[in-house]
């Protein structure tokens, strides 16, 4: 259970970053502004892109803080599985993306895996 609690900030930060970056990239691409455009610095210093980068950076800092306190074989799959779940749920709700039957099956496996990991 300790690993799950310590994984939550990383899950939230990475999932939020994914949502912010995807949403903003959709918007910027409509305006023909991307990382490979001649307006690279406008893209890089876009406040939403920058915020997404900050969220990822904070997740790395959190990772460095907790890595010595947890079992790596538990925390790593928890963070990545949780991030997949959060990103998928947020993309359905906020980005109106669709979900397939195979994705639903994958989510079920991820949830079962997380439950098995945190059981003592």
Q: Phi and psi for 33 in degrees, rounded to 5?
A: -120, 115
Tell me the mean pLDDT in the region 2-25: 94
- Per-residue confidence band for 42, with pLDDT thresholds at 50, 70 and 90: confident
Sequence-ordered alpha helix ranges (H) in 1-120: 2-30, 40-44, 47-66, 72-94, 101-118
Looking at residue 120, what is its pLDDT? 65
In sequence order, which residues have a C-beta less than 8 Å from that of residue 41 and are 6 or more positions away? Answer: none
Average pLDDT of the residues of the chain: 90
Task: Tell me: pLDDT of 7 over 80.
Answer: yes
Q: Residue ranges per domain, the chain? A: 2-118
Please report how many Cα atoms fall inside a 13 Å half-sphere around the Cα of residue 56, on the Cβ side: 11
User: Are 24 and 6 a contacting pair, CB within 8 Å?
Assistant: no
User: Which tens digit of pLDDT belongs to each residue from 45-71?
Assistant: 889 999 999 999 999 999 999 999 999
Q: Indicate the pTM of the whole model.
A: 0.86
Q: What is the predicted pLDDT for the residue at 68? A: 94
């Amino acid at each position: 259970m300790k690993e799950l609690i310590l994984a939550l900030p990383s899950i939230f930060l990475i999932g939020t970053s994914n949502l912010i970056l995807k949403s903003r990239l959709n918007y910027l691409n409509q305006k023909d502004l991307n990382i490979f455009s001649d307006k690279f610095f406008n893209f890089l210093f876009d406040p939403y892109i920058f915020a997404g980068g900050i969220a990822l950076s904070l997740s790395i800092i959190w990772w460095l803080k907790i890595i010595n306190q947890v079992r790596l074989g538990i925390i790593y799959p928890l963070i990545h599985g949780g991030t997949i779940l959060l990103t998928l749920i947020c993309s359905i709700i906020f980005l109106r993306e669709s979900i397939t039957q195979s994705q639903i099956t994958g989510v079920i496996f991820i949830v079962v895996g997380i439950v098995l990991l945190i059981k003592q």
